[in-house]
Amino acid sequence: MKTMAIVKPTFKLLMLALLLPLISEASMQKQIQPFKEKVRPDSMLYHFDTFGHQTVIRYYTSNSVLSTGKWYKIGVKNTGIFKITYSDLVNMGINPSTINPHNIRIYGNGGGMLSESNEIPRPDDLMENAIKVVGEEDGSFDENDYILFYGQSPNTWTYNTQSQLFEHTKHLYSDENYYFLTVDLGIGKRIVNQNSGTLTPILL
């Protein structure tokens, strides 16, 4: 490959690649056969100039997911499994009897502070979280139904492999981490069952 460039005219991301369709082997030149290449979009793409130097080219979502539908903000102070009941929805201003529970969605990007380095990849919009809606099978959200989701604290614990100790980092700008609930965007993501592992547990 001689060179490759990533261009973005009129908000459409394209890749232009210039190829030299000949390969030299043992003083002979062979022609490359036709082929197809699939390119998977990612939050970062790379440009290589003719000298092999690499630069990162980012692209971003055109509209935030929050731009469509009604949204309800949920504050979380600690990490754990959180339960949203029928009465909780009523207190948010939602009439549970009028919604399809299959359409309940929760968005959030986890806990902790964003890195101060702009080179660190990060989502440029809210990500949908897999949740559990107990009782949604009948298509109605009844008084005994509820929502379970995993929420993370704004403060984090990370394991330092060098000191072999856990380090606590307090969020400098917020005491709560926020998640966003909506029922306006169609069927939501759900927690799925996973097969149990077959490895023998190690007891310490």
Cα Rg for the chain, rounded, in angstroms? 24
Give the distance from CA 147 to its chain's centroid. Answer: 20
Question: Can you tell me the distance from the alpha carbon of 157 to that of 166, in angstroms, rounded to the nearest whole number?
Answer: 6
Is residue 129 predicted with pLDDT exceeding 70?
yes
Percent of the chain with pLDDT over 90: 56
Do 179 and 152 form a contact (C-beta atoms < 8 A)?
no
Element (H, E) at 74: strand 72-76
Quick one: pLDDT band at residue 6, thresholds 50, 70, 90?
Answer: very low
Is residue 108 predicted with pLDDT exceeding 90?
yes
If you ran DSSP here, which 8-state letter would residue 139 be given? S
Quick one: pLDDT band at residue 38, thresholds 50, 70, 90?
Answer: low
Place of tokens 């502070």: 113
Beta bridge pairs of residue 195: none
Among residues 99, 82, 102, 81, the alpha carbon closest in space to that of 90 is found at 99
